[in-house]
Amino acid sequence: MAGEQAGIPDNSATTEVPPPERVTPTDLFVGFLQIGLYGFGGLAAISRHIIVEKRKWASEHDYAALFGICQALPGGNVINVATILGDRFCGLTGSIAAVVGLFAAPLVLLVLLATGYDQISDLPDVKVGAAAAAAAASGLVIGTAIKMMRALKFTARALGFVVLAFVCVAIIRFPLVPTLVALLPLSFAVTYWSRSR
Amino acid sequence: MNESVLLRLIIMYTTLSLVSVGGAPTIIPDLHRQVVDVYGWMTDRKFAETFALAQLAPGPNLNVTSLIGWQVAGLAGLLVSTVSIILPASALAFGVGRVWQKLESSHWFPSFKAALPPVVLGLMAASGFVTATVAVHDWLGVVFAAGAAVFTATTKRNPLWAIAAATIFAILAARLGIV
């Protein structure tokens, strides 16, 4: 693992902060435990804060590049960051330590929350409140999609793919796998073609 | 029943793991289709509540899959679901992590990165739409969903405030007999 890392051309000229000499699986576990525990309503902000500012595991530039790749891959973006960063420092053991750390606290809290909720879910206040929370949570997802679309300033071609994906899954109710298998290569082909012209 | 349920959870989540570009929002509509419509493990109401509960806990948004596993098959369901949703995608990330500098410099990678967001955001909007059709039952629900969407889209504040506000408002309104 260390050998493979050494084989990759060193980009340290562009990094502002050199990563620490020694990062153990325990460090990775604790760092990602913090990310999981403090990450209410999205992990993107807290993971940058811990990885770049507090632990200095990656420079700002390095982290942005890593995060970009992790968003393009399937799986949760921060789960992918944990996997790759863990491997970089400690190989497979590091990946496992980081991912387990990321999930440990949230899963315990989630089970407690769900068990507690089951005890009280028949109370009138809880029924009303849970219905409202569920409705608001669906709006939260729609709002996040709108926010990201506005930030990315899509072209008409890109908006076409937004609508196409939405209609396939939300209106026609196609299963996800065939939809993605059809739409992703199509989107890639159109993007590649329009860029190489 | 348990073993066949666990096996189905494994198959469902390992498949969804490999297409979960963009995380949980992408797979929510398909998750709803399978969990409620195909297998009948949960009612619409339970699914909507599970989704909302998962939003309230910290951590990766994919933990909704663990919670569904917990509710369908207990601790075994939780563990099997968590591992199944993480492992395939993380194995891929692990492999990519070792060659990523080569990938990043390849001439097609920028197109690949640019091709993803439109599809992913369309699926994210679809996810919000599908959960809204499950979770919204009356005009007040429409107000809460629309309010949360506007709040999230237009402010930088933590979107969980919108959920908290809706919950408190609904309880007060019901207690005071307004709605």
The proportion of chain A whose per-residue pLDDT surpasses 70, expressed as a percent, equals 90
Average pLDDT value over all residues in chain A: 86
Whether A7 is in a domain gets the answer no
Structural domains in chain A (count): 2
Task: Compute the count of residue pairs across chains A and B with CB atoms less than 8 Å apart.
Answer: 373
Residues A165 and A109 reside in one and the same domain: no
CA distance A83 to chain B (A): 6
Q: Which domain holds residue B20?
A: 3-104
pLDDT at position A9: 42
Residues A53 and A146 reside in one and the same domain: yes
Residues A145 and A169 reside in one and the same domain: no
Residues A31 and A60 reside in one and the same domain: yes
Structural domains in chain B (count): 1
Whether B129 is in a domain gets the answer no
What is the CA angle B128-B129-B134, rounded to 5? 95
Are the C-beta atoms of residues A94 and A28 closer than 8 Å to each other?
Answer: yes
**What ipTM does this complex have?**
0.82
**Could you tell me which of B126, B9, B27 has the C-alpha nearest to residue B77?**
B9
How big is chain B by its Cα radius of gyration, in Å? 19
Chain B residues with CB-CB distance to A63 below 8 A: none
Chain B residues with CB-CB distance to A15 below 8 A: none
| pLDDT tens, position by position, A128-149 | 998 999 899 889 889 988 988 8
pLDDT band at A2 (very low <50, low <70, confident <90, very high): very low
Whether B111 is in a domain gets the answer no
pLDDT band at A107 (very low <50, low <70, confident <90, very high): very high
At B122, list the tokens: 């369309």
Q: In terms of CA atoms, which chain A residue is nearest residue B91? A: A83
Whether B113 is in a domain gets the answer no
Cross-chain CB nearest to B125 (options A75, A99, A166): A166
Whether B177 is in a domain gets the answer no
Interface test with B, best of A176, A177, A193 (most B CBs within 10 A): A176
Whether A164 is in a domain gets the answer yes
Are the C-beta atoms of residues A83 and B97 closer than 8 Å to each other?
Answer: yes
Whether B79 is in a domain gets the answer yes
HSE (CB half, 13 Å, CA atoms) of A74?
A: 22
Three-state SS string across B26-86, please?
A: HHHHHHHHHHHHHCCCCCHHHHHHHHHHHHHCCCCCCHHHHHHHHHHHHHHHHHHHHHHHH
The answer to whether residue A33 scores a pLDDT higher than 50 is yes
Q: Is the CA virtual torsion A31, A62, B93, B15 positive or negative? A: positive
3-state secondary structure of B159: coil
Residues A166 and A133 reside in one and the same domain: no
Residues A75 and A165 reside in one and the same domain: no
Return the bridge partners of B174, or none. none
Q: In terms of CA atoms, which chain A residue is nearest residue B58? A: A40
Whether A178 is in a domain gets the answer yes
The answer to whether residue A29 scores a pLDDT higher than 60 is yes
Chain A residues with CB-CB distance to B19 below 8 A: 74, 176-177, 180-181
Q: Which domain holds residue A169?
A: 154-197
Whether B125 is in a domain gets the answer no
pLDDT at position A5: 41
Interface test with A, best of B38, B62, B144 (most A CBs within 10 A): B144
**Does the beta-carbon distance from B93 to A130 stay under 8 Å?**
no
The answer to whether residue A88 scores a pLDDT higher than 60 is yes
The per-residue pLDDT string of chain B (179 residues; one tens digit each, 9 = 90 and over) reads: 567 999 999 999 999 999 998 888 889 999 999 999 999 999 999 999 998 888 888 899 899 999 999 999 999 999 999 999 999 999 999 999 999 878 778 888 888 888 888 998 898 899 889 889 988 989 999 999 999 999 989 988 877 889 899 999 999 999 998 87
Residues A65 and A50 reside in one and the same domain: yes
Amino acid letter for position A184: L
Whether A5 is in a domain gets the answer no
Residue ranges of A 32-71 with Cβ closer than 8 A to chain B: 36-43, 65-66, 68-71
The answer to whether residue A11 scores a pLDDT higher than 60 is no
Residues A32 and A58 reside in one and the same domain: yes
**Does the beta-carbon distance from A139 to B71 stay under 8 Å?**
no
Look up tokens 């929002």; give the residue: B25
pLDDT at position A53: 87
Whether A14 is in a domain gets the answer no
Residues A34 and A112 reside in one and the same domain: yes
Neighbours of B106 (CB within 10 A): 10
The answer to whether residue A94 scores a pLDDT higher than 80 is yes
Terminal CA-CA length for chain A: 40
Residues A112 and A26 reside in one and the same domain: yes
pLDDT band at A10 (very low <50, low <70, confident <90, very high): very low
The answer to whether residue A67 scores a pLDDT higher than 90 is no
Residues A177 and A164 reside in one and the same domain: yes
Return the bridge partners of B21, or none. A74, A75
**A104 close to B (CB below 8 A):** no
pLDDT at position A150: 86
Please list, residue by residue across B125-152, b when 16 or more beta carbons sit within 10 angstroms of its beta carbon and e when fewer do.
bbbbbbbbebbbeeebbebbbbbbbebb
CA–CA separation, B86 and B24 (whole Å): 11
Q: In terms of CA atoms, which chain B residue is nearest residue A62? A: B101
Residues A67 and A135 reside in one and the same domain: yes
pLDDT at position B178: 80
Whether B139 is in a domain gets the answer no
